[in-house]
């Protein structure tokens, strides 16, 4: 497949050499530009006839806030959305939740191609920095939403569409500087539509930052290239993008006791040298490269029928490196050293844990559209082939250490086939019904050993197994257009989702995870007029065996989950926008919700006397708690945006409120994140000159009122000592008042 993509790229470049930019389009060429839509799997997106709660973010809105922060921060104004940053600045590792659902259970696609990692289900936006500079739009669907490609949507789905072709040549140069030595540089250029029908676009970017937390640095590089042919009925487009990230690890956050005295303290990389001095390992980094290739074909078969098909390939490879103190030789297959005649049991070492994976497949959709009927048959065939392995690259007091000695290895192979059929029809005047049926088959095989040493067997845990799943996901909805301004809708959906890799490798064999199921009911109302828009959406998401965050992390910062038999999320999302004057707009949204676990028992809480030590352990207890709150699910999320636009000036004030969140599922106030209220200011100015199309100036001031707040946290350990609960917590504090300022020249 790689050879095909390389050949396609060479072909596009060779044709462009002989093409010339169009100065005066012929009538036929104009028709070609207008009649052919950009390559996009429209079947994945919702519209005004869909019984779905959704928000669309257009290119103009993305550009206003795209000063270097990651994509979750550019979507933070959408309803029920929470963004969080490990380093505290929104640059580097970031995460998000929608309706309290964590990011690895939210479906993400790019041009209809799955973006979620096939094993972890997570979306690592850090792997493609400044990707927002190549986006034309993003749609966020809340709830189950429409059928999509890739992992199941268990709280929301995010559909990203890259930039389309432009009729004329262009070039852009942009640079951002900001607090914590943050910097972003972007270079973009495109040929416009050539006489031959081809068009080419490219971008290069780099983003760097020291981070708010100590050593939470990020060094990020990325590229984007698209080459397309636009015929009267045929579009063929090759897209490739990728990035390399090197970030210092900050995924443990800050010890709770340090928040008051040393708010930026990052413990990762800490070690003691031979002279008993405390130091920090300078290469405690995550280093990963990911490259995407997509080839899209769109064919108009007749005025009502079109076919979209895509082939894709993603290559990912990298490692995270860490200094580990007092590790047992036998855990790493090392030969113990002998000092003064005594065989050593433990040593310090540096290890690298590697990922090397390939993800490839095809997606397709056949679309039929008339005035009263939209129908689609689509699906995907995908394969993920990934190697996990670890190497020891340095050992203190080593004997016969082989260079890059390997101490574990496993391979994962995941095949997925899915097909969906959906139709939206006007069954009677102004009443639209939607039926959406999807089938997914998954075959997931693990072969080898994990990175976890089992002291009972004296070996690394064997994870060899095969898991198979067959899911049927039906959806049905009704939308009624009361008049031009008013719509009401209702839908009922069922979604099923398989466990991810860590659900298997981080659970004992006696507690293997189950697949989870969601029954989603949504009822909504939309009003739209030139000066005022409003919507209300009621949702009830009833789960069976929901894999809920436990409040604990794996050693690489991944949130751990466990099956909960009965739980639900219920709430109302209110959205409004008003044009107060010709120069002042206000937009706002608020989510009020209840997120509950039924009949919850907190199991296996350790008990000690005097202090936490092995010899003081006296057993464990189960706490029967009944109905509790789901972790990381605040009851209130609200946004307000005042926007002033006077001629070439644009000023926006964004206010965000997030209610209290519990770190685990016990509803214990001692393990919670306080509510926070944060304000951000955005100022933009566009200057137009004769020799330059425009010069755009943007200033983003984050945390305008210097609020001390945290957006995320986790529980390291929470045992009982002498009958009292002890909470060893970590939090992710966000940066104090900080700024990003940019200048962009457009030619």
Mean pLDDT by 10 residues, the chain (747 residues): 37 34 38 44 80 93 93 96 97 96 93 95 95 96 93 92 91 97 97 93 98 97 96 94 97 93 96 92 97 96 94 97 94 87 90 97 95 94 98 88 89 97 94 96 96 88 95 97 95 95 73 90 96 97 86 56 90 97 96 96 90 91 94 97 95 97 94 97 93 92 97 92 94 98 96
Question: Cβ atoms within 10 A of the Cβ of 383, count?
Answer: 15
Separation between Cα atoms, residue 515 and residue 493, nearest integer Å: 17
In words, the CATH class of domain 2-746 is: mainly beta
Say how far apart CA 613 and CA 610 lie, in whole Å.
Answer: 9
Task: In whole angstroms, give the CA distance from residue 297 to residue 307.
Answer: 8
Question: Where in 193-284 does DSSP place strands (E)?
Answer: 198-209, 218-230, 234-248, 254-255, 270-272, 278-280
Residue with tokens 């504090």: 733
Angle at CA of residue 52, ends 48 and 56, nearest 5°: 65
SS (H, E, C) 344-410: CCEEEEEEEEEEEEEEEEEEEEEEEECCCEEEEEEEEEEEEEEEEEEEEEEECCCECCCCCEEEEEE
CA distance 149 to 105: 13
Select from 439, 547, 440, 456 the least CA-distant residue to 502.
Answer: 547
For the chain, which residues make up each domain, given as ranges? Answer: 2-746
- Nearest CA among 50, 121, 106, 169 for reference residue 498: 121
Reference 491, options 513, 502, 475; nearest CA is 475
Closest CA to 172 of 204, 126, 137: 204
The per-residue DSSP string of 648-669 comes to TEEEEEEEEEE--EESSTT--G
CB burial of residue 632 (10 Å; 0-12, 13-18, 19+): buried
For residue 211, the tally of other CB atoms under 10 A from its CB is: 26
3-state secondary structure of 81: strand
Q: Name, in order, each residue with C-beta under 8 angstroms of 709's C-beta and a sequence gap of 6 or more.
A: 674, 676, 678, 733, 734
* CA separation for the pair 26, 732 (Å, rounded): 58
Yes or no: say if 125 and 72 are a contact pair by the CB < 8 Å rule.
Answer: yes
Calculate the CA 592 to chain-centre distance. 23
Kindly report the backbone phi and psi dihedral angles of residue 62, in degrees, each rounded to the nearest multiple of 5, phi listed first.
Answer: -65, -45
Distance CA 138, CA 84 (A): 19
Instruction: Compute the Cα dihedral for 138, 140, 141, 146 and give only its sign.
Output: positive
CA 605 to chain centre: 32
Buried b (16+ CB within 10 A) or exposed e, 169-189: beebebebbbbbebbbbbbbe
- What pTM, to 2 d.p., does this model score? 0.91
Q: Which residue, 533, 537, 711, is CA-closest to 52? A: 537
Burial of 723 (0-12, 13-18, 19+ CB in 10 A): exposed
Q: How many CB atoms lie within 10 A of CB 594?
A: 14
- Euclidean distance between CA atoms 149 and 152, whole angstroms: 8
- CB-based contacts of 433, cutoff 8 Å, min separation 6: 424, 425, 427, 476, 477, 478, 479
First to last CA, the chain: 36
Q: Identify the bridge partners of residue 584 per DSSP, sorted by sequence position.
A: 644
- The encoded tokens of residue 574 equal 């209110």
Provide Rg for the chain, Cα atoms: 27
8-state DSSP, 616: G
Contact call for residues 707 and 680 (beta carbons, < 8 A): no
Contact 5, 310 (CB under 8 A): no
- Dist CA 717 CA 611 (whole Å): 13
Going by their DSSP bridges, the two strands 532-553 and 720-721 should be labelled as: unpaired
Are the C-beta atoms of 301 and 239 separated by less than 8 Å? no
Reported as half-sphere exposure (CB side, CA atoms, 13 A), residue 695 has a value of 7
**Closest to 603 measured CA to CA, from 629, 630, 621, 626:** 621
The position carrying tokens 């995550």 is 286
How far apart CA 420 and CA 84 sit, in angstroms, is 34
Q: Which of 208, 233, 205, 231 is nearest to 218 (CA)?
A: 208
CA count, 13 A, side-chain hemisphere, 203: 28
Euclidean distance between CA atoms 239 and 228, whole angstroms:
8
Measured distance CA(538)–CA(574) in Å, rounded: 9
Q: What is the pLDDT of residue 742?
A: 97
Q: How far apart are CA 329 and CA 410, in angstroms?
A: 21
């Amino acid at each position: 497949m790689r050879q095909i993509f390389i050949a396609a790229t060479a072909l596009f470049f060779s044709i462009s050499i002989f093409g010339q930019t169009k100065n005066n389009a012929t009538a036929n060429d104009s028709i070609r530009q207008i009649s052919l839509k950009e390559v996009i799997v429209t079947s994945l997106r919702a519209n005004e006839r869909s019984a779905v709660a959704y928000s669309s973010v257009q290119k103009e809105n993305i550009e206003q806030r795209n000063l270097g922060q990651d994509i979750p921060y550019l979507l933070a104004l959408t309803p029920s959305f929470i963004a969080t940053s490990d380093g505290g600045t929104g640059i580097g590792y970031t995460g998000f939740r929608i309706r309290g659902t964590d990011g690895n259970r939210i479906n993400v696609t790019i041009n209809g191609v799955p973006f979620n990692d096939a094993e972890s289900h997570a979306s690592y936006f850090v792997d493609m920095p400044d990707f927002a500079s190549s986006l034309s739009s993003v749609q966020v669907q809340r709830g189950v939403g429409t059928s999509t490609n890739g992992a199941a949507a268990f709280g929301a789905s995010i559909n990203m569409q890259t930039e389309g072709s432009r009729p004329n040549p262009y070039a852009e140069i942009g640079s951002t500087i900001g607090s914590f030595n943050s910097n972003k540089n972007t270079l973009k250029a495109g040929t416009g539509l050539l006489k031959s029908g081809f068009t080419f676009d490219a971008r290069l970017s780099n983003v760097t930052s020291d981070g708010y937390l100590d050593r939470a640095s990020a060094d990020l590089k990325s590229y984007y290239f698209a080459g397309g042919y636009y015929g009267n009925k045929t579009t063929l487009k090759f897209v490739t993008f990728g990035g390399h990230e090197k970030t210092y690890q900050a995924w443990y956050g800050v010890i709770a006791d340090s928040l008051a005295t040393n708010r930026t303290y990052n413990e990762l990389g800490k070690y003691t040298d031979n002279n008993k001095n405390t130091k920090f390992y300078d290469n405690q980094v995550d280093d990963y490269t990911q490259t995407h290739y997509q080839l899209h074909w769109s064919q108009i078969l007749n005025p009502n029928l079109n076919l979209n098909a895509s082939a894709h390939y993603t290559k990912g490879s990298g490692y995270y490196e860490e200094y580990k103190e007092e590790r047992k030789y036998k855990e790493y297959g090392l030969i113990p050293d002998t000092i003064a005649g005594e065989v050593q049991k433990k040593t310090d070492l540096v290890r690298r844990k590697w990922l090397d994976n390939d993800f490839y497949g095809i997606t397709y959709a056949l679309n039929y559209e008339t005035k009263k009927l939209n129908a689609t048959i689509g699906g995907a065939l995908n394969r993920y082939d990934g190697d996990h392995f670890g190497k020891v690259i340095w050992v203190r007091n080593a004997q016969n250490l082989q260079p890059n000695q390997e101490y574990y290895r496993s391979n994962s192979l995941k095949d997925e086939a899915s097909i969906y059929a959906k139709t939206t029809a006007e069954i009677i005047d102004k009443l639209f019904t939607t039926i959406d049926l999807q089938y997914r088959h998954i075959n997931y095989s693990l072969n080898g050993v994990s990175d976890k040493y089992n002291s009972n067997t004296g070996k690394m845990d064997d994870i060899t197994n095969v898991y198979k799943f067959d899911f049927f996901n039906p959806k049905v909805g009704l939308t009624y257009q009361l008049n031009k301004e008013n719509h009401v809708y209702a839908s009922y959906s069922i979604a099923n989702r398989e466990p991810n890799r860590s659900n298997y490798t981080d659970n004992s064999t006696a507690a293997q995870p189950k697949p989870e199921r969601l029954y989603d009911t949504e009822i909504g109302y939309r009003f739209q007029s030139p000066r005022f828009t409003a919507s209300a959406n009621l949702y009830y998401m009833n789960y069976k065996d929901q894999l809920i965050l436990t409040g604990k992390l794996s050693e690489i910062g991944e949130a751990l989950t466990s099956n909960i038999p009965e739980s639900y999320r219920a709430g109302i999302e209110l959205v409004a926008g008003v044009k107060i004057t010709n120069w002042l707009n206000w937009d706002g949204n608020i989510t009020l919700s209840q997120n509950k676990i039924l009949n919850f028992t907190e199991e296996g809480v350790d008990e000690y006397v005097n202090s936490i030590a092995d010899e003081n352990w006296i057993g464990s207890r189960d706490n029967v708690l009944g109905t509790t709150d789901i972790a990381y699910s605040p009851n209130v999320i609200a946004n307000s945006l005042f926007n002033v636009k006077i001629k070439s000036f644009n000023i926006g004030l964004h206010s965000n409120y997030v209610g209290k969140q519990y770190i685990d599922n016990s509803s214990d106030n001692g393990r919670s994140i306080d509510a926070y209220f944060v304000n951000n200011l955005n100022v933009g100015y566009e200057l137009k000159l004769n020799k330059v199309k425009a010069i755009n100036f943007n200033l983003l001031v984050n945390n305008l009122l210097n609020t001390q707040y945290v957006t995320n946290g986790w529980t390291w350990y929470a045992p009982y000592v002498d009958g009292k609960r002890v909470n060893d917590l970590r939090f992710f504090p966000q940066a104090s008042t900080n700024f990003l300022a940019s200048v962009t020249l457009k030619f």
